Amino acid sequence: MSPVPKFTAFIQASGVGGLAQTLRAARIASDTLVIHDVDPAVQRLCLRYGAREKIYVPGVTPGAYATDAFHDWILLLQPGEELSDDAVNALKDWRHIRDDPSPGYLVRCRDDHRLQLRLVNRALVSWLGEFPPIPTNAGVFPGLIARAESLRAA
């Protein structure tokens, strides 16, 4: 039997602003990795929420840290972002899929209304910048990723 997809929530933080809400949202992930400058406040939040941390190396782009994820599937989040209830439920359902062949899934980001590749299979897609390039065969994932205040206002 093939394993159930597990995923790493990947967050790049520059300080604690909005990080606590995003770490709460990331609890659905099997693993959480926070990339940050040396910041004791971020380290305390990572410890509190059970997130792993890696210190940012100047000149290294965000995508290069994907190799530090425990799982091939990566959910890209930014500090201050949360998942809508629809997105959380879709992730719970998705975890029961076996051998998902997709390179990734686009998720609607409420703040700019664009679809972005936010759930990505790093075994099939590699990148160096902030977000990976969108493969032509990426699916669309239900729900939204938005700033916490945007979800509460909805």
Radius of gyration over every alpha carbon of the chain, rounded to an integer in angstroms:
15
Helix (H) or strand (E) holding 70: none
Tell me the C-alpha distance between 42 and 17, whole Å: 9
How far is residue 87's CA from residue 47's CA, in Å, rounded to a whole number?
Answer: 25
What integer pLDDT is reported at residue 1 of this predicted model? 41
Most confident of 4-18, 72-86, 89-103: 72-86
Domain membership of residue 2 (yes or no) is: no
pLDDT in tens, 127-149: 888 889 899 999 999 999 988 66
pLDDT confidence of residue 3: 58
Count the domains in the chain: 1
C-alpha 30/C-alpha 94 separation (Å) is 13
Specify the higher pLDDT residue, 3 or 89. 89
pLDDT tens-digit map of 53-71: 999 998 898 889 999 999 9
**pLDDT above 90 as % of the chain:** 69
Q: How confident is the model at residue 2 (pLDDT cuts 50, 70, 90)?
A: very low
Does residue 93 sit in helix, strand or coil? helix
Phi-psi region of 18 (alpha: psi -120 to 50; beta: other; left: phi over 0): left
Q: Which domain holds residue 78?
A: 7-153
The reported pLDDT for the residue numbered 86 is: 94
DSSP-assigned beta bridge partners for residue 74: 8, 120
Asked whether residue 1 is domain-assigned, the answer is: no
In a domain, 52, yes or no: yes
Residue partners of 58: CB distance under 8 A and separation at least 6: none
Confirm whether 25 is domain-assigned: yes
